[in-house]
Structure 1
Amino acid sequence: MPHRRRFLATATRALTLGGGALWLLGRGVWAQPSYTVPLAQLQEMVATKFPRSVPVQGLFDLNLQAPLLRLLPEVNRLGAAMAVDVAGPALRRSHAGSFDVEFALRYEASDRTLRAYQIRLGRLAFPTLQPAVTELLNAYGPVLAEQSLREVTLHQLRPQDTAVFDGLGLQPGPITVTPKGLAVAFVSKQP
């Protein structure tokens, strides 16, 4: 009987330490273990990466402000509305504008980060610029978006966030955009 009590106490401690992760794993096929990152946390992290300046061939600079993120679960992507100012030798003054982007997310194992990729730029809008200049900016738009937003870190997993999963031979896998945030699924580590 003492061995049985000791076993139950050890199992209870293990479940308490492992928290929800072991509970999810114990449910087997009904639930894949995952880690959720709420939108507010993503917004906070991305704000630290801006403002950002992108030079355009010595003609002008685009100064990007922190994006306002939105979840797009129907297409498994994030969207961002961004304020931008354009100024430089080719323009007489600074002009305020905006644009929208959509992007997917990928996990980078080397530093445990979730990063933007597969960026799709919406149209740049500058109400005070001449239409021809706005068209020029829109022609450069996809390249500018790629340069300024490629691989922007949206979240970094801490070792304590994944410790239980690491111990069970799991690693971050598919990232799903849900109405509540990002769900990072954990899958078996590849040999």
Structure 2
Amino acid sequence: MLHRRRFLTIATRAMALGGAALLGARGAQAQPSYTVPLAQLQEMVGQKFPRSVPVQGLLDLTVQAPRLRLLPEVNRLGAVMAVDAAGPALRRSHAGSFDVEFALRYEASDRSLRAHQIRLGPLDFPTLKPAVTELINAYGPVLAEQALREVTLHQLRPQDTAVFDGLGLQPGPITVTAKGLTVAFVRQQP
């Protein structure tokens, strides 16, 4: 009898500690979450590049893997992207760059975190004539959308979410923090 009570007491404390850890240090109102560090995001997005984007048969832009940065103050990611311009309208290849910012969304069909709401800064090509750079910048938003649309930054594996799935939770809001992305888990809708 004494062993059974001791076992129940230990089991009860363990469950309470486990529940507290799941809920986090902020108390019962906090949502359980999953964090993806910046290095892991950088590695995943690097696998999706380079990407080629044709411009009206005049030239091709080859966009290299972005160097990601966290922008927690606006809940977005930013990136500096190197780009090469080459093709029939140019005599040689020209290296340039541009900045981009984007929000994130969760895609349930493949459990991925994807770029969306893309904002592009001007493309800069130091070796191109200003008129040509201006022409390329006129197509800039379309080019960025083609190069970055729905780029997968991370894919949740079943083992990453198994505990949450068992509790009837699903990925919800994505928050950019100083350490990476935090995906909150919320109750599944019936």
TM over 0.5: yes
Alpha-carbon distance change, 100 to 93 in structure 1, aligned in 2, over 3 angstroms: same
Within 5 A, what are the aligned runs for 1:41-56?
41-56=40-55
2:57 aligns to what?
58
Letter in 2 for 1:22: L
Q: SS state of the match for residue 182, structure 1?
A: strand
2:81 aligns to what?
82
Contact preservation (8 Å) 2:23, 2:31: no
> What's the CA shift for 1:32?
1.4
* Unaligned ranges ≥5, structure 1: none
Q: Are residue 114 (structure 1) and residue 113 (structure 2) matched? A: yes
TM-score by length of 1: 0.91
> What's the CA shift for 1:10?
5.5
Question: Identity across aligned pairs (percent)?
Answer: 79
Q: Are residue 190 (structure 1) and residue 189 (structure 2) matched? A: yes
2:104 aligns to what?
105
Letter in 1 for 2:101: E
Q: Are residue 178 (structure 1) and residue 165 (structure 2) matched? A: no
Letter in 2 for 1:73: P
1:28 aligns to what?
28
Within 5 A, what are the aligned runs for 1:102-181?
102-181=101-180
* Unaligned ranges ≥5, structure 2: none
Alpha-carbon distance change, 144 to 21 in structure 1, aligned in 2, over 3 angstroms: farther
The structure that is helix-richer by fraction is: 1
Q: How many residues align?
A: 189
- Provide the C-alpha distance between the structure 2 equivalents of 1:109 and 1:15, rounded to a whole number of angstroms: 31
Letter in 1 for 2:131: A
- Over the residues paired in the alignment, what is the CA RMSD in angstroms? 2.2
- Provide the C-alpha distance between the structure 2 equivalents of 1:71 and 1:20, rounded to a whole number of angstroms: 29
- Provide the C-alpha distance between the structure 2 equivalents of 1:90 and 1:19, rounded to a whole number of angstroms: 63
TM-score by length of 2: 0.91
